[in-house]
């Protein structure tokens, strides 16, 4: 497989890179060893925001009890976690599809450099003129 650019990693910065390259005519691949989207949507920001929203509603309902709220909300953690996992899975599937929609070929696997223009992923050699390291952290 030959590409103009191969991006290793798939976090939010990759989305912006692909947007910028969308009409360039360049052949681009995105290689991800874990889940597409990076840390924020998988393990950080997005799941935290989802859970925090439910906690805020519950705490607010407790504070407003007796002020027009007759019964505070109660969290069902098991159900909340299931709903969070379902929402995040849908979001992450959309992330990979979004990258593909921006013209990138997505490849699941761990990249290792063979030489300055070649990586190996899943026992297949991939060549590129340029590599973008976007592994986060």
* Tens of pLDDT, residues 21-44: 999 999 999 999 988 887 777 677
Contact between residue 137 and residue 13 where contact means Cβ atoms under 8 Å apart:
no
> Is residue 137 predicted with pLDDT exceeding 80?
no
Range of the domain at 97: 2-133
**Mean of the per-residue pLDDT values of the chain:** 90
Total domains, the chain: 1
CATH code for position 68: 3.50.50.60
Q: Give me the percent of the chain exceeding a pLDDT of 90.
A: 55
For 89, the 3-state DSSP assignment is: helix
Separation of alpha carbons 110 and 6, rounded Å: 13
């Amino acid at each position: 497989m030959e590409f103009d650019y191969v991006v290793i990693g798939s976090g939010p910065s990759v989305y912006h890179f692909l947007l910028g390259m969308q009409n360039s005519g360049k052949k681009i691949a995105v290689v991800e060893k874990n889940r597409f989207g990076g840390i924020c949507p998988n393990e950080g920001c997005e799941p935290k925001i989802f859970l925090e929203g439910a906690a805020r509603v519950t705490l607010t309902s407790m504070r407003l009890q007796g002020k027009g709220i007759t019964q505070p909300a109660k969290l069902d953690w098991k159900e909340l976690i299931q709903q969070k996992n379902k929402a995040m899975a849908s979001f992450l599937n959309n992330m990979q599809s979004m990258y593909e929609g921006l013209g990138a070929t997505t490849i699941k696997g761990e990249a290792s450099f063979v030489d300055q223009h070649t990586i190996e992923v899943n026992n297949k050699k991939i060549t590129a003129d340029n590599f973008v390291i976007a592994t986060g952290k």
